[in-house]
Amino acid sequence: ARSEWPELVARARRLPAVAARRLVARAERARAIEERANRGRQLVLGGELLRDGPGALSAIATFGLTLPHDRGAREAGLALADANEADAQADGLAARGSLELERALHDVEHTGELLGILERELVPAADDAARQRTRAFELGETTVVELLAAQRTALAAHARVSDAQAAHAWARVRE
């Protein structure tokens, strides 16, 4: 039903391939944060207590502060670029999936409408015209060429219905 289309299209935007690309983007953003954190300031504290013989104790205390000269900007930038690329790919996959689904749903609806019009209007009118030409030919009011043209038109109408049935069936299969 046409009322269900928005939900179906929304679900197409959440396909597993889209979710996978979103997870890749999240992982790359986390990697960028990690790169910056690994290259930040570091405070090192340590201590050691040694026994160097009977009654001799030694204590060593260690204090260190590392100031970064490289904050990991290059690595973080590459990770963020990868994250942006993964997001763009996810957006593309989502748009492509929803567009293909909308197109398939539209094709089903359109081919169904066309089939209905052909069956309700074209075929009965063409068959009626062929019957009237046949009757007119029997009464001597028309030529055989006009009779054959009317019959050919009726056959063409039936052929168009067959083509429309095939197109509608194919559209439903693709959906």
pLDDT at 46: 92
d(CA 82, CA 143): 76
Per-residue pLDDT reduced to its tens digit, 6-25: 887 888 888 888 889 999 99
- What number is the average pLDDT over the span 109-138? 93
Per-residue pLDDT reduced to its tens digit, 139-175: 999 899 999 999 999 999 999 999 999 999 998 887 6
d(CA 17, CA 97): 10
CB atoms within 10 A of CB 71: 15
Burial of 3 from C-beta contacts in 10 A (0-12 / 13-18 / 19+): exposed
